[in-house]
Amino acid sequence: MSVLQVQDLTVDFAQRRGPKFRAVDHVSFELVAGETLALVGESGSGKSTIARALARLLRPTGGELLLHGRPVGHRGRKLRDYRREVQMVFQDPFASLNPAYTVGHHLRRPLRIYGHPRKGLEEVVEALLTSVNMVPATSFVSKFPHELSGGQRQRVAIARALATQPGVILADEPVSMLDVSIRLEILNLLDGLKRDRDLALLYITHDLATARYFSTQIMVMYRGEIVERGPADSVILRPAHPYTQLLEASVPGERTPHRLDELAPVRGAGGTNVILAAERAEATAATGCRFRRRCPHAMDVCSTHPVEQDLGDGHLVRCWLHDPKVREKSGDRAAPQQSAPSGA
Amino acid sequence: MRVQPAAQTGAEGRNDAVLRASHISVEYGGTVPTRAVRDVSIELHRGEMLGIAGESGCGKSTLAYALTRLLRPPAVMTEGQVLFCGRDGAAPIDIMQLEPEALRRFRWTVVSMVFQSAMNSLNPVISLRRQFSDIFEAHVPEMDREARDRRSRELLEMVGIDPSRLGGFPHELSGGMRQRVGIAMALALQPEIVIMDEPTTALDVVVQREILLEIARLRRELGFSVIFITHDLPMLVDLSDRLAVMYAGEIVERAPAEWVGGRPAHPYTLGLQAACPDLLGERRALQGIPGSPPDLRQRLRGCAFAPRCQYVFGPCADIHPVLSPLAPPAAAVIESVLDRDGGKTSKLNDWAVACHLHDRTANPAGPPDELAGDPLGTGGLVPPAVGAGLGVDPTGRPARGQDQL
């Protein structure tokens, strides 16, 4: 059941010089109860901007949010009702908890704000801590954030998000600041909570492996656009967009069928007259396919904006290589479709 | 098969060390001092990349700083010696005994460093040209302005940045480009050793991969040695020649990287490996390492990892395990296999682990299969029949105690 529908979400940022910067460009998706949707992409691709727009920490330029099918209000009571339903877990548990207040205070605040009576407050706080495996809860209530490890702090942040009994949790890189050894515990915790409470979870990350294991669907974002989306295994095991293939080839220790040196050559032959790799990675095309400057398969048609192609099974890709007409014209050799290795 | 011909450096054996540190201990002062590095011995071979892995607070960076004498109070190196053996074959230099002026010259020309956050290691208010010039003015005063400029441009080009950026400022560059500038600066004086402390942690995977390829290429071309510090074990397995895993200020396992990638011998290494799931592997239940590292202010009894270890048994609580070569018969069998394989026996002694599971007197049954150590990637130990045929004494084990990396 779809809890939160996002339609044509667009976010512009004003720049001192030049035109507005479009961080999120007509993005549509929906969050479903009991499912995790992973949003992956490099820094600056607009992942966090989407989360902040959904949490109404910033106001979108365009598009519409529908919570349980109803449009979302912009101010006052309606906005508050929305925020009660949609909660966020931030990346940095060192910055997202106030060092001057105890764990208990962090959990009592949202409860009081959303009208929980003083009576029975402590029981709820303890139940929240227990639900994130901080036991015995009583021993943590009066602790300050600096007395906790990074993993424990993130558990408190999760408990705080759960305090208002939301239907949607937006987790923006919830484990990237934590040690490798505790990341999986936190993700397992989120996964369990999602199942127990039938939450709709948006998991923002740049880690493809955990995105695959912990989510139902994956969306790959590049410079403000969703370039590929679909069932988690389908996207990871049969990546169709050259950018997704590049991301996968960059993961250490993996033997992916797409070799990085072909996808992102560092040097041209002879080392002369090449666009230098570091510079090249920065180049975003203003029109057409935004990835084409970095794309090893770039063609003439890429200067026009690609439309989403359906590869079946809900796996969609925004790339001309998969357009039936383009494929026909190029004798069907263009598409490095699905796992067909471009370099084998 | 995972075992590849030894890197040129490994094959020449352990005499060809460029840096040899022995019994390093570092404390952070305080009412109760924190013992961040505990009696670590480590050897860096010429031209090799040595990876150091472990979670935060296990002493990786402190060790690197100690090797270069970059520790600042309250950190104090309480014990240990660091010897540097140069390319020129001169007598080893004791880094701890260097006078301030000699130390200043030693740094950057011989050992340079790339820090985690290039954002903070570049000066935001002066141009890249000025920052490159600073290096040359301080270390090569005879260089004139033109030569400095030329060399700076060369360096930028070497790391894939347009030389016209020389007049620019750090904020005009992306994170990846800034990290490249950091690497170019570290290589400016053609050092013999470069220490890289999590150089790619703050970067995106694609950029990270590009930088790693760049480092690998430069190392091939310029032939320096690298100590590479990170918490990303799969990356180290991919990248380094040998790797050392640190826990609670000590090295708990050390081996040629591709062997650890095959099947590690220490439960902590196994835990780190499991904590980084395969992207394309089978779906499985994922588990981190429960608990957290010990408080290093405390005196640690027994094995520091015991409270978090699922294999804990008898001696772990009281007896401190010593880093020792992997026990026979596995090691002996491997030796013979490697011997037939082209005489790479020198690498064998390089696999050491600090864990009672591998101590045949404490644990006669031997380690469980998943910790048996499997350099050949056969998916298990070499069949017993092979070992029996070689007449290996199954209880024999090498002398403990005088291990050296």
pLDDT tens digits along A107-161: 999 999 998 899 999 999 999 999 999 888 889 999 999 988 888 999 999 999 9
Q: What is the pLDDT of residue B393?
A: 33
Q: What is the CATH number of the domain that holds B167?
A: 3.40.50.300
A94, A134, A154, A179: best mutation site toward chain B, by most B Cβ within 10 Å? A179
Instruction: Give the mean model confidence (pLDDT) for residues B373-402.
Output: 38
Domain shared by B349 and B212, yes or no: no
Mean pLDDT (chain A) is 85
Of A56-70, A198-212, B351-365, the poorest mean pLDDT is in B351-365
Q: What is the ipTM of this complex?
A: 0.78
Residues paired with B83 in a beta bridge: B20, B94
Edge-to-edge strands, sheet with A316-318: A86-89, A168-172, A200-205, A36-40, A217-222, A225-231, A316-318, A308-310
Look at residue B397 and tell me if it is in a domain: no
Is the CB of A266 inside 8 Å of chain B's CB atoms?
yes
Sign of CA dihedral A187, A193, A194, A200: negative
Look at residue B396 and tell me if it is in a domain: no
Look at residue B31 and tell me if it is in a domain: yes
Whether residue A321 has pLDDT greater than 80: yes
Whether residue B66 has pLDDT greater than 80: yes
Question: Higher confidence at residue B369 or residue A48?
Answer: A48
The answer to whether the CB atoms of A184 and B210 lie below 8 A apart is no
Cα separation, A242 vs A288, in Å, equals 15
Q: Which of B247, B270, B292 is the last residue of a domain?
A: B247
Cα separation, A206 vs A47, in Å, equals 9
Domain shared by B231 and B326, yes or no: no
Cis peptide before B329, with omega less than 30 degrees from 0?
yes
Taking a contact as any Cβ pair under 8 Å apart, which residues of chain A between 116 and 145 contact chain B?
none
Mean pLDDT (chain B) is 79
CA distance A297 to chain B (A): 18
Cα separation, A217 vs A128, in Å, equals 28
Q: Is B42 helix (H, G, I), strand (E, B) or coil?
A: strand
Q: Are the beta carbons of A282 and A288 closer than 8 angstroms?
A: no
Homologous superfamily of the A2-220 domain (CATH): P-loop containing nucleotide triphosphate hydrolases (3.40.50.300)
Q: Give the chain A residue whose CA is nearest to the CA of B176.
A: A278
Q: Are the beta carbons of B222 and B270 closer than 8 angstroms?
A: no
CA distance B344 to chain A (A): 24
The answer to whether the CB atoms of A281 and B206 lie below 8 A apart is yes
CA distance B183 to chain A (A): 13
Look at residue B277 and tell me if it is in a domain: no
How many alpha carbons lie under 13 Å from residue A247 in its C-beta half-sphere?
30
Look at residue B5 and tell me if it is in a domain: no
Domain shared by B224 and B325, yes or no: no
Of A177-186, B132-141, B331-340, the poorest mean pLDDT is in B331-340
Look at residue B268 and tell me if it is in a domain: no
Q: Which of B209, B227, B247 is the last residue of a domain?
A: B247
Instruction: Give the mean model confidence (pLDDT) for residues B71-96.
Output: 86
pLDDT grade for B368, boundaries at 50, 70 and 90: confident
Q: Which of B209, B244, B169 is nearest to B199 (CA)?
A: B209
Domain shared by B77 and B169, yes or no: yes
Question: Residue B206 is nearest to which of A213, A233, A264, comparing CB atoms?
Answer: A264
pLDDT tens track for A60-101: 999 999 999 888 877 788 888 899 999 999 988 888 999 999
Domain shared by B236 and B315, yes or no: no
Question: Residue B205 is nearest to which of A184, A251, A276, comparing CB atoms?
Answer: A251
Look at residue B97 and tell me if it is in a domain: yes
Is the CB of A15 inside 8 Å of chain B's CB atoms?
no
pLDDT grade for A250, boundaries at 50, 70 and 90: confident
Tokens of B263: 């099947």
The helix or strand, by DSSP H or E, that contains position A182, with its residue range, turns out to be helix A180-197
The helix or strand, by DSSP H or E, that contains position B145, with its residue range, turns out to be helix B145-158
How many domains, in total, are found in chain B?
2
Is the CB of A147 inside 8 Å of chain B's CB atoms?
no
Domain shared by B178 and B49, yes or no: yes
The answer to whether the CB atoms of A252 and B214 lie below 8 A apart is no
Is the CB of A181 inside 8 Å of chain B's CB atoms?
yes
**Residue A298 DSSP label:** -
Cα separation, A287 vs A215, in Å, equals 32
Whether residue A271 has pLDDT greater than 50: no
C-alpha dist (Å) from residue B40 to B231, B296, B352? 18, 15, 13
Domain shared by B383 and B237, yes or no: no
* Residue span of the structural domain in which B82 resides: 18-247
pLDDT grade for A279, boundaries at 50, 70 and 90: low
Burial class (CB in 10 A: 0-12, 13-18, 19+), B349: middle
The answer to whether the CB atoms of B292 and A182 lie below 8 A apart is yes
Question: Higher confidence at residue B118 or residue B10?
Answer: B118
Would strands A308-310 and A200-205 be described as parallel, antiparallel, or unpaired?
unpaired
Extents of the domains making up chain A: 2-220, 238-329
Burial class (CB in 10 A: 0-12, 13-18, 19+), B300: middle
Cα separation, B42 vs B46, in Å, equals 13
Domain shared by B191 and B99, yes or no: yes
Is the CB of A212 inside 8 Å of chain B's CB atoms?
yes
Q: What is the pLDDT of residue A33?
A: 95
Would strands A217-222 and A36-40 be described as parallel, antiparallel, or unpaired?
parallel
Q: What is the pLDDT of residue A15?
A: 78
Q: Which of B197, B214, B247 is the last residue of a domain?
A: B247
Q: What is the pLDDT of residue B5?
A: 36
Look at residue B292 and tell me if it is in a domain: no
Whether residue B104 has pLDDT greater than 80: yes
Instruction: Give the mean model confidence (pLDDT) for residues B185-212.
Output: 85
C-alpha dist (Å) from residue B293 to B74, B297, B306, B310, B349? 21, 12, 10, 15, 29
Question: Higher confidence at residue B309 or residue B365?
Answer: B309
